[in-house]
């Protein structure tokens, strides 16, 4: 008889393969549908209150995880594999992330800065209007690194340890952080629980992703030792307890300099300097995409090894 661990592992591998082969659905993406429902609920329950925001986050994440638990209660092994695979495919974003990185690199190689500025919004919320070619390459490289953790490593590891509820619950929490986790007047208090919850959920995945980036450095003509050095030395310079981990490891693996001053919605932030090399260019962005794919495969191998 096939045990639950094997079913979870097979479902994760199948879902990863689906994402790699076909990517996200163009219409009716379940994460987008969740986002619309969460936004509608936020409009109804918002108050300038941490307690109200915490209740909102628990409700949304609990609903997603509960749906996952219900789906996972199916006993037939083939159905369990299919359900886990579909959930994994739904929450992963590896193919889409790589495609956006390649699209940005192509525009930068062509010297089409206006097109690259328009495209950057597909990767991050940074103010692209003030960025030149080097700034755009850096922003895209940083986003590839951070989203490798958020959209690939973390979902796989949560799926490995908590099955379908872990997959859907993690993606719900990460989506809420993107929606209400910003330090704006509206969400400073209301979004606090979602932001802190997302930080906690990514503590181990971000560090696992950073380690994988260091180990995979030779695949992009980098050195593991240098990546480990930059990771240990520079990660704490970043204001995020998690993004700084994998961005620093990527900077060391690619031998480029990331971080610095960024502008979000008119607000200027100094995120510290990560790495010792030159500012990244389009070729480095393509290397970052290759490193992201390698880290994703390493995360898949780890997820299969620890699957429950």
Per-residue pLDDT reduced to its tens digit, 9-34: 999 999 999 999 999 887 778 999 99
* Rounded CA separation 19/6 (Å): 20
* Rounded CA separation 262/128 (Å): 10
What mean pLDDT do residues 108-129 have? Answer: 94
* 216: helix, strand or coil: coil
* Rounded CA separation 152/296 (Å): 6
Whether 16 contacts 300, CB under 8 Å: yes
Query: Residue 25 has what pLDDT?
Result: 80
Q: Which domain holds residue 193?
A: 4-306
Query: Residue 266 has what pLDDT?
Result: 62
What mean pLDDT do residues 155-176 have? Answer: 98
Tokens for 14, please give them. 């199948």
Query: Residue 126 has what pLDDT?
Result: 86
Query: Residue 264 has what pLDDT?
Result: 63
**This prediction's pTM:** 0.95
Indicate the number of domains in the chain.
1
What mean pLDDT do residues 236-241 have? Answer: 93
Does the pLDDT of residue 277 top 60, yes or no?
yes
Query: Residue 28 has what pLDDT?
Result: 79
Does the pLDDT of residue 308 top 70, yes or no?
yes
């Amino acid at each position: 008889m096939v045990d639950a661990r094997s079913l979870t592992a097979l479902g994760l591998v199948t879902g990863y393969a689906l994402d790699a082969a076909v990517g996200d659905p163009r219409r009716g993406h379940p994460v987008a549908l969740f986002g619309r429902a969460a936004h509608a609920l936020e409009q109804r329950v918002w108050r300038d209150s941490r307690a109200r925001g915490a209740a909102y986050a628990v409700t949304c994440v609990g609903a997603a995880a509960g749906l996952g638990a219900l789906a996972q209660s199916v006993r037939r092994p083939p159905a369990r594999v299919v359900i886990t695979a579909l959930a994994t495919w739904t929450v992963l974003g590896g193919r889409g992330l790589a495609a956006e990185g390649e699209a940005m690199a192509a525009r930068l190689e062509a010297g089409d800065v206006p097109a690259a500025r328009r495209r950057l919004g597909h990767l991050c919320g940074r103010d692209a209007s003030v960025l030149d070619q080097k700034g755009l390459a850096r922003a895209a490289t940083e986003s590839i690194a951070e989203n490798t953790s958020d959209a690939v490593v973390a979902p796989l590891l949560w799926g490995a340890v908590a099955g379908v509820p872990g997959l859907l619950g993690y993606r719900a929490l990460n989506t809420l952080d993107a929606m209400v986790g910003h330090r704006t007047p509206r969400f400073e208090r209301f979004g606090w629980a979602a932001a802190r919850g997302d930080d906690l959920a990514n503590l181990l995945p971000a560090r696992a992703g950073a380690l994988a980036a260091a180990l995979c450095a030779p695949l992009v003509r980098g050195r593991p030792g240098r990546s480990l050095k930059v990771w240990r030395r520079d990660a704490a310079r970043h204001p995020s307890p998690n993004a700084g981990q994998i961005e620093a490891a990527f900077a060391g693996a690619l031998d480029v300099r990331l971080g610095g001053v960024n502008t979000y919605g008119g607000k200027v932030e100094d995120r510290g300097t990560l790495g010792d090399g030159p500012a990244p260019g389009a070729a480095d962005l393509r290397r970052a995409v290759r490193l992201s794919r390698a880290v994703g495969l390493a995360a898949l191998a780890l997820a299969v090894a620890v699957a429950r």
